[in-house]
Amino acid sequence: MKIYKYAPHDLEDAEGNPVSIPFKGEIEVEMMTYQERLGTAKAIGLVDDDNALDKSDEIIALVAKRVKSVDVKAGDIEIKSLDELGYYKEGSDIINDIGRLVMQGIPLGNP
């Protein structure tokens, strides 16, 4: 098992427009091996991008299972749980980004 310390960063929306993320801190995520990711994708039925939206609830449930801790701030707002992060638009963007990370693996250059 590998724990990845995800640091919130600016993202892009589905159309490629920049999304500024005001949160600072880290989220610890338990990562899967390549073989585990393949098995999970098969179990969820996630075989292509056309199917991804239909399976988003299952991917978010997987993220919830894999996130070990949340410790982020935006100004005076402190967030200590994935559920709490999900109340904010930018928090939802972070959760979706973690979902991609969990299913695709850690990008090189971010050990």
Sheet holding 77-79, edge to edge: 2-6, 24-31, 67-74, 77-79
Q: What is the dihedral of CA 62, 35, 44, 80, to 10 degrees?
A: 10
94 pLDDT tier (thresholds 50, 70, 90):
very high
Domain chopping of the chain, boundaries: 2-104
**Residues 63-86 pLDDT 10s:** 999 999 999 999 899 999 999 999
87 pLDDT tier (thresholds 50, 70, 90):
very high
What pLDDT sits at residue 9? 85
| 70-86 as b/e: b if 16+ CB within 10 A | bebebeeeebeebeebe
What pLDDT sits at residue 111? 47
Instruction: Collapse the DSSP code of 9 into the 3-class scheme (helix H, G, I; strand E, B; otherwise coil) and give the result.
Output: coil
What pLDDT sits at residue 52? 56
**Residues 30-43 pLDDT 10s:** 999 989 888 888 88
